[in-house]
Amino acid sequence: MIKIKLPPQHDDIKEIFLQCLSAANQVGFTTDHIQVSHSNNGDFVYHNGIEDKIFSVQLNAPIPAFEEESELTSNALASNLSQSEARHLVYLDGASLPAVLNKNAVYIDALFNGEHHDIWLNTEAEFCVLRSAQNIQLEPHRHLAWFFSCLSLDFPLEDALTLARAAVSHSHISSSKKLNSADAVLNVSRETWPKERFLFPVPLLVNDRVEQELELQFQWENIQESLFDFAELERDKFRLYPVVTEFTQIETLLKFGVKTIQLRIKDPDQSDLEWQIEQAIRLGREHDAQVFINDYWQLAVKHKAYGVHLGQEDLLTADLRVIERSGLRLGLSTHGYYEILKAAQLNPSYIALGHIFPTPTKQMVSRPQGLTRLRLYQEMISSLVPSEPTVAIGGIDLSNAQQVWQCGVTSLAVVRAITQAPDIQLAINLFAQIMQTDEARIAESA
């Protein structure tokens, strides 16, 4: 059972919170397991079924004075953050960001250059910044209700903040359109799950990682404003997307007509790593196929690969400009709203959405996304035309591929469903039959 406990002085949030859960239920989420009640003090409490997570909230008030803390290295800070029991939600109401920040605080609605931002430090000691897509006055109570609703639906902190911003924007725009409607006259508020991308805030790219905690400060000049324009892939070849561990598997699949493949070698110390990558790239050229190299972008650039696939953790270390100038396509892994929108800022060749179902092939920090979230992610992405190609990945096989495909993705990434199939050609043909059921959709999204 998930429990949200609201302070008695914020009882007015309860009605909005329940409306948010109703909106979530309408788009496919199960909410019967969520309870809302009162807390025993002035804090908000989120109980995830295992432990309590405490959130103190300060609305439109002077910046709180937090206890001074000792200096920590970036690794110690990250560890300290991940173990923290409390977060402070500080609503600035359009004021400037304080000069010295608290590592556990989320600063909401900080004004800089006429735009509104939310800023916090994640568990990796990296600054996260959301820039509001709409220049509107934030409604703290509605924002809070959506934030805790999303937490109760098991969204991580960054996604809950992202969705809360989008939902408040949607509510503001809807209210403006209904000024003369009966709902407006009766002052009826109906929360709606945000789907259009223009409503969502923009996660900014920050070239900074906190090296020490003492005098924690955020430098606005560290925001990366430069644009990228990675080469496009061929959508008509971007359908079935097997992920393999050695080049000999690539050779087999290419002979069966597969046109997009990823080579994912997990061990960076593998003795024949570079040779495997070189052979994979050669095979791709010989068969006019789109072969992506997972992680090893330097070797991919060196041997002029078709493309490279990177995870979110690689964005601070990979030289994206070198990859772009070398003409390589770029695929990026994402695991939720925040990472999808962050990836979109880089204009990648495709965005991977995962992991959809539990999978033993890769140890994942994030939880399985499931079909409801996948569909909502794709709806948000597709609301912008033309939209980025997408690939669903994680635990996909012939038993669930039809359901995944119906969520609207461009491609299906598979691992064991192909590499361990008793009859590889038959498995490829069966996947092709599933994806041929909606040829028009792919053409329209291009």
CA-nearest of 159, 191, 157 to 174 is 191
| Residue 236: burial class (beta carbons within 10 Å; 0-12, 13-18, 19+) | exposed
The pLDDT-based confidence of 197 (bands split at 50, 70, 90) is very high
Mean pLDDT for the stretch of residues 55-68:
70
Which DSSP letter does residue 37 get?
A: E
Q: What is the mean pLDDT of residues 85-96?
A: 92
Instruction: Identify which has the larger pLDDT, 64 or 9.
Output: 9
| Residue list, annotated binding site | 262-266, 294-295, 314, 333, 359-362, 395
pLDDT digits (tens, 9 = 90+) for 170-194: 988 876 665 455 444 444 457 999 9
Q: Tell me whether residue 168 is exposed, middle or buried, using C-beta atoms within 10 angstroms of its C-beta: 0 to 12, 13 to 18, 19 or more.
A: buried
Q: Tell the CATH topology of 235-445.
A: TIM Barrel (3.20.20)
pLDDT band for position 226 (cuts 50, 70, 90): confident
Phi, psi at residue 254, to the nearest 5°?
-65, -35
DSSP state of 415: S
Crossing angle between the packed helical segments 337-344 and 370-382, to the nearest 10 degrees? 30
Task: Give the integer Cα–Cα distance in Å for 306 and 289.
Answer: 8
Looking at residue 184, what is its pLDDT?
44
Asked if pLDDT for residue 39 goes beyond 60, the answer is yes
pLDDT one-digit tens code per residue, 250-299? 999 999 999 999 999 999 999 999 999 999 999 999 999 999 999 999 99
Band (82; pLDDT cuts 50, 70, 90): very low
In the chain, the percentage of residues whose pLDDT exceeds 90 is 78
Q: Which residues define the annotated binding site for Mg(2+)?
A: 295, 314
Look at residue 416 in the predicted model and tell me its pLDDT: 95
- What is the percent of the chain where pLDDT is above 70? 87
Per residue in 339-358, pLDDT (tens digit) is 999 999 999 999 999 999 99
State the pLDDT at residue 406: 97
Q: What is the pLDDT of residue 437?
A: 72
Select the highest-mean-pLDDT range: 48-62, 120-134, 235-249: 235-249
Give yes or no for a contact between 77 and 212, defined as CB atoms under 8 angstroms apart.
yes
Any idea where the domains of the chain sit in the sequence? 2-224, 235-445
